[in-house]
Amino acid sequence: MNGLYWFRHDLRLADNPALVALSKRCNQALMLYVIDPSWFKPNHFQSRHLGRFREEFLYQSLRALEKELKKSKQRLVVKVGNPLEIIPKLCEKHQIDLVATTEHPGFTERQQLGHLSKILPCEVMISESFTLFIKNQISFTKDNFPASFAEFKATISAQNLLPCIPIAKPDSLPPAIDESRDLWGGQEFVYDLTPYHGGEDSGFVQLNQFFWKTQGLKNYKDTRNRFDGWQCSSRLSAWLSNGTLSVRTVAAELDNYEYRYGKSPSTEMMYSELLYREYFQWMMHFHGKNMFAFDGIKKKRPLTSFYCENYKAWEQGTTDCPLVNACMRQLNQTGYMSSKGRQIVARYLVNTLNVDWRFGAAYFEQQLVDFDVATNYGNWQYLSGVSADSEHLLPLDIDKLAREYDPDGSFIAKWAESSPSVSLLRF
């Protein structure tokens, strides 16, 4: 039997049920990743799906995956184009009997798989490993999906749902099917992602660093809202977003940590953050394209009055608000912004500048090294008031937040000294 494995948001060998299943059934296989040129083209909101930081992180991850596959006498075949055109051609050329991949809650990702399942003459096997739980564990539907994270968390707790246990990497992989690959990852990058580095091994290193070596988890509850500092948060979101590290692996490591040291406010907060990510994944699963709608899943149209100058000032970090400017310059020059910073700049864009929230969400999609479609658009809907759980949001007191989270003004001062970021947008 000939197989084709389509890597998407699962760029790893460990905890990859679809890859294990394919390896057991196929005599030879093609390991495929498709780079879609549309990722690099501006959308309706003048931002690209894939910006420079996540692009480099992706290429690093693909190189690391290729290295791991070589250990099993396999190779990664990278194609550039539309996967809905490339995969059927490869299946016909190599007489593929089985296509396997990992399910992802993204609207586009699900549409692509649905289309392939209809047009391919071979079997299409889809496994779940991007989330803590699988469909059989989840009792929600679109009609009764929790309106708030608190309700989601309470339901999960009441039902005593436990995350799926991560599985080991395949014992071996089928021999490679001979197929040429397109040129990829040959760009010379002039920016530094350090200490980020894409790849499965790097993800495990960061997990070990945060949980065990530096004991960052021990003080997580107190440090997670700080604006800067590598050890203030787990920084695992970049590896989780492209699947070089599975969320189930993180949950299992957290369970191991609690077994050794006991539960604490920090470990409980860490698990709550994993559940928060999970909440948005299932929200995307059930609400689909409504996650991108102007009026949101709440069907409430916000009031906006778009001024190009206001938006460009926000995007470049040249507004009247020093804290917003510092956060945006940090994002533009590093690809990272803290969770608290993301909340502040989002609400400033929506509530103070009255800009359509989708411009901000699209810009985050382009800039963030750890962009995750469900988490990004779910959070932006919530902060802009078009999500089901947005009623209680109070007016933003940025001066108070600056005093609370940057009491000595060091964060603002650090980024005030940097040059305003060059706009990536063209109006």
pLDDT digits 0-9 by tens, 120-140? 999 999 999 999 999 999 999
Sign of the CA dihedral running 33, 15, 57, 239 = positive
Structural domain contains residue 165: no
Instruction: Based on the fold, state whether residues 270 and 350 are members of the same structural domain.
Output: no
Which of 83, 114, 129 is at the close of a domain? 129
Residue 26 lies in a domain: yes
Do 269 and 362 belong together in one domain?
Answer: no
25 assigned to some structural domain: yes
CATH at 120: 3.40.50.620
Q: pLDDT (tens digit, 9 = 90+) per residue, 110-119?
A: 999 999 999 9
Looking at the fold, whether 276 and 313 belong to one and the same domain comes out as no
**Count: domains in the chain:** 3
Taking phi over 0 as left and psi of -120 to 50 as alpha, with beta for the rest, 180 belongs to beta
230 shares a domain with 115: no
Residue-level pLDDT at 255: 98
423 pLDDT more than 80: no
Averaged pLDDT of the chain: 92
Q: What is the pTM of this model?
A: 0.94
Q: Are 19 and 121 in the same domain?
A: yes
Distance of alpha carbon 158 from alpha carbon 163, whole angstroms: 14
Residue range of the domain that includes 49: 2-129
- The Cα 117–Cα 159 span in angstroms is 33
Q: Write the CATH number for 219.
A: 1.25.40.80
DSSP letters for 298-329 = TT-PPP----HHHHHHHHHT-SS-HHHHHHHH
| β-bridge partners, 29 | 3, 176
Domain-located, residue 421: no
Residue 225: inside a domain = yes
Give Cα 8 distance to the centre of its chain: 12
CB burial of residue 71 (10 Å; 0-12, 13-18, 19+): exposed
pLDDT tens-digit readout, 341-358: 999 999 999 989 999 999
Confidence of residue 232 (pLDDT cuts 50, 70, 90): confident
Query: What does the alpha-carbon distance between residue 363 and residue 46 come to, in Å, rounded to a whole number?
Result: 8
191 band by pLDDT with thresholds 50, 70 and 90: low
Domain boundary among 258, 290, 322: 290
Q: Is 422 part of a structural domain of the chain?
A: no
